[in-house]
């Protein structure tokens, strides 16, 4: 059984707005990735690929069978692992995941991490519903497990997911290999580190209710409430804190119903009073993402990523899949091959420096913001101006006022990464 204590880091928040909650005809997705404060998150672009029949794929801990074709993806991930905390694919599918503990035991045996499942779903699913089926199929075959942080002490959890595309969103919550899903076709929804699907299930594992009944968690009479049946009877301290964040996030979405934009989502991710923007002891928001998924299939989906900690003092930079889409070198962490502590057994016995260039320069900027008021204000103004430049470019693009060459569109994220890096130099 995995170790857990009240001080164990375990928080994240995901949000989605589906028209008419959105101010424009678009689905809007957002996530804060809250992780150990010294963990580096990189942004990785992986092009679409074709793969030989019978080939295998190495994930963080285990191998799975590869599929013939994989979609192009943009991923924001802890740089030590294969999967991702959040990301999108070329078809406008976005996914974020959350840690969750339920009555089902969490084992330390190595299987697929929730973050591996997320990346596999993006590479293989061309819609939110198809991506959900990818996750549940792999979960059934391989299970989920393994340490979720770069530390000799195992830290294991089960996962919930928020999946979105241009037309709808799905909440997928798991307990071991069991799962429940809820479809969102209108309105706003958020998830935090707790089960939130009650009686409104849209799909479920065929053994979910029989298992709950066999365990004595449901009497088989009346409506089946997934969260009530599978949630821990005595919630740990941080799970109680997650309830407060969940309620605060839901309120922030309700206050903006009908007027939710990408900027509104960025504001929610920056909300420190609620704890959604995390900076608590050994834990903080290490990266953030907001995606704009227009209903009009002729318009491109736009994904804003920070690649740096603390969204309140970071720049959301636009990424668009296109001909010129490529890896931005300044947000790619160094690699260590067979000598990587995650590859050598026993794992995580040593530490390596995974900081990428933008992360290093951003850390210096954060230090100046805290120690030198005038210089700090100048740097924050540069960040805000650069972010506004990106937002205005996207507005012009979606309004038809700006028609860049495909190569220019694909290189948008890299251009903004370079501008931000120069601003800190």
Q: What CATH number should be reported for the domain holding residue 334?
A: 3.60.60.10
Query: Is residue 277 a part of any domain in this protein?
Result: yes
Give me the pLDDT at residue 127, please.
Answer: 98
8 domain-assigned = no
pLDDT, residue 4, reads 36
Tokens of 165: 């595309």
pLDDT value of residue 236: 67
Look at the chain and report how many structural domains it folds into: 1
* 279 within domain boundaries: yes
Catalytic residue among 12, 94, 148, 301: 12
Low-confidence ranges of the chain (pLDDT < 50): 1-9
Q: How confident is the model at residue 234, as a pLDDT?
A: 77
Instruction: Report yes or no on 365 lying in a domain.
Output: yes
Active-site residue, 12 included? yes
pTM of the full structure: 0.96
- Cα maximum dimension of the chain: 65
Domain housing 132 = 13-424
Nearest to 105 by CA among 219, 207, 209, 4: 4
């Amino acid at each position: 059984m995995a170790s857990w204590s009240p001080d164990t880091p375990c928080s994240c928040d995901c949000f989605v707005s589906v028209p008419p909650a959105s101010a424009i005809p678009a689905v809007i997705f957002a996530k804060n990735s809250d992780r150990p404060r010294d963990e580096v998150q990189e942004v990785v672009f992986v092009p679409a690929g074709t793969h030989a029949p019978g080939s295998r794929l190495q994930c963080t801990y285990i191998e799975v069978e590869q599929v013939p074709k994989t979609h192009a993806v943009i991923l924001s991930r802890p740089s030590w692992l294969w999967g991702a905390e959040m990301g999108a694919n070329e078809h406008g599918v976005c996914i974020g995941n959350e840690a969750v503990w339920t009555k089902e035991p969490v084992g330390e045996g190595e299987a697929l991490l929730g973050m591996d499942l997320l990346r596999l779903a993006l590479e293989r699913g061309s819609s939110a519903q198809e991506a959900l089926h990818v996750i549940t199929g792999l979960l059934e075959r391989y299970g989920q497990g393994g340490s979720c942080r770069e530390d000799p002490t195992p830290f294991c959890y089960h996962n919930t997911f928020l999946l979105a595309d241009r037309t709808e969103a799905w909440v997928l919550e798991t307990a071991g290999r069991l799962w429940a899903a809820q479809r969102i076709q209108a309105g706003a929804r958020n998830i935090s580190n707790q089960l939130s699907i009650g009686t409104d299930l849209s799909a479920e594992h065929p053994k979910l209710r029989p298992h709950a009944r066999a365990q004595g968690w449901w009497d088989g009479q009346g409506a089946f409430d997934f969260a009530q049946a599978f949630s821990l009877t005595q919630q740990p301290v941080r799970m109680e804190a997650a309830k407060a964040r969940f309620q605060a996030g839901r309120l922030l979405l309700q206050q903006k119903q009908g007027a939710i934009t990408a900027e509104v989502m960025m504001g929610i991710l920056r909300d420190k009073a609620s704890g959604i923007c995390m900076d608590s002891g050994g834990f903080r928001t290490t990266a953030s993402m907001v995606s704009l998924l227009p209903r009009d299939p002729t318009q491109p989906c736009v994904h804003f990523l920070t690649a740096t900690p603390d969204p309140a003092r970071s720049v959301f930079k636009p990424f668009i899949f296109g001909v010129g889409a490529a890896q931005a070198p300044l947000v790619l962490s160094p690699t260590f091959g067979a000598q990587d502590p995650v590859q050598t057994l026993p794992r995580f016995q040593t530490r390596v420096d995974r900081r990428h260039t933008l992360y290093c320069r951003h850390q210096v900027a954060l230090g100046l913001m805290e120690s030198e008021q005038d210089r700090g204000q100048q740097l924050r103004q540069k960040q805000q101006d650069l972010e506004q430049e990106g937002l205005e470019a996207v507005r012009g693009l979606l309004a038809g006022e700006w028609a860049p060459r495909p190569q220019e569109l694909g290189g948008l994220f890299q251009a903004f990464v370079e501008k931000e890096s120069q601003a800190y130099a």
